[in-house]
Amino acid sequence: MDNMQVTKVFKAGVVAGLLAMSDASSASVWAPTDNDSQFANTYALLLNIPTGEKFGIFEDTALLSSSIGNAIINPVLSFFDAATVTFTQNGVNVDIKTGNSTGALLGSSNFQLGWWSPTGWITENSSSMISLLGQTSWSLAFVDPTNHGAGNEHRLFAFDIKASQASSDYPGSGGTPAAVPLPATAWFMMTAVLGFLAKGRRKSTVLA
C-alpha cells in the first residue's frame, strides 16, 4: 500500500472516528446557517471519485420516508455526489442554486434532504453531528430499502446546516429535535481507532 493509499485509509478512519463521537439525532428538517451549504457523499469527500449518487433538496413539508421510496415527488433541486448550494432570500421565499440548477423553497429556508434509492426518494434514516467540526457539520445515513445486507448505507456529509428549530417540524418535542448522547465507552473506542490508524500510518511510511 503506497503513501497515498495509506493517507486515504487514514482519512476514512478519522471520519469514522469522528462520527462515532457524535450525537445521534432524529432531525430530518434542516436549515442553512449562512448563504451557502456544502454537501458531499463519502467518495466525493474522501477520494474525489464520482459515483453518480443522486441527492435532492425538498420542501420541509414534503412527504418523505426513510424506509419507503417515493418515485412521484420531485425535489426543489437535485445534484450528483457533491454540491455547494446557495440560499438567497427572495421575499417570503428562499431561492436555492447549485451550478445551473435553481429552485425556490416556499415560506422559509427549511428543507429536507433525500437520496434517490432503487424505489424512489427516501430521507435519512439517522443523522450524526460531527462534534469536532462544530455544530453545523453533519453526517446523514440513508439506508437502501431494497438491500438488507452489508453495504446498504449511503452517507451524505453536510456542512453549514443545522437542525430546524421550527416547532411545526417537530410536533410534540417542544420545537427541537431529540438528541441521544452516545455512551462514554465511545470515547475509548475513538482513542483505540485513532491510535491504531496512526501506528499503521507510521509503519507504512517507514516501509515505503
Question: Residue 165 has what pLDDT?
Answer: 72
Q: Same domain for 8 and 68?
A: no
Question: Residue 28 has what pLDDT?
Answer: 84
Question: Residue 6 has what pLDDT?
Answer: 35
Cell numbers representing residue 152 in the block: 446498504
Residue 181 has pLDDT above 70, yes or no: no
Question: What is the reported pTM?
Answer: 0.71
Q: Same domain for 63 and 159?
A: yes
Q: Same domain for 36 and 111?
A: yes
Asked which of 18-22, 46-50, 142-146 is least confident by mean pLDDT, the reply is 18-22
Q: Same domain for 4 and 104?
A: no
Residues 6+ apart with CB under 8 A from 160: 32, 33, 34, 36, 37, 38, 136, 137
Q: What is the largest CA-CA distance in the chain?
A: 61
E strands of the chain, at which residues? 24-25, 30-32, 36-41, 54-59, 77-80, 82-90, 93-98, 101-105, 111-117, 120-123, 126-129, 137-143, 153-159, 161-163, 179-180
Domain that holds residue 121: 27-179
Q: Same domain for 93 and 138?
A: yes
Residue 160 has pLDDT above 50, yes or no: yes
Question: Residue 26 has what pLDDT?
Answer: 54
Q: Same domain for 70 and 107?
A: yes
Q: Same domain for 111 and 64?
A: yes
Q: Same domain for 164 and 77?
A: yes
Tally the domains of the chain: 2
pLDDT digits (tens, 9 = 90+) for 18-31: 444 455 555 689 99
Taking residues 129-140, report their average pLDDT: 84
Taking residues 76-96, report their average pLDDT: 95
Q: What is each CA distance from 171 to 30, 177, 181, in whole angstroms?
A: 15, 10, 21
Q: Same domain for 124 and 160?
A: yes
pLDDT, mean over the chain = 76
Q: Same domain for 95 and 186?
A: no
Asked which of 53-57, 73-77, 193-197 is least confident by mean pLDDT, the reply is 193-197
Q: Same domain for 31 and 98?
A: yes
Q: Same domain for 113 and 57?
A: yes
Tell me if 60 sits within 8 A of 111, measured CB to CB. yes
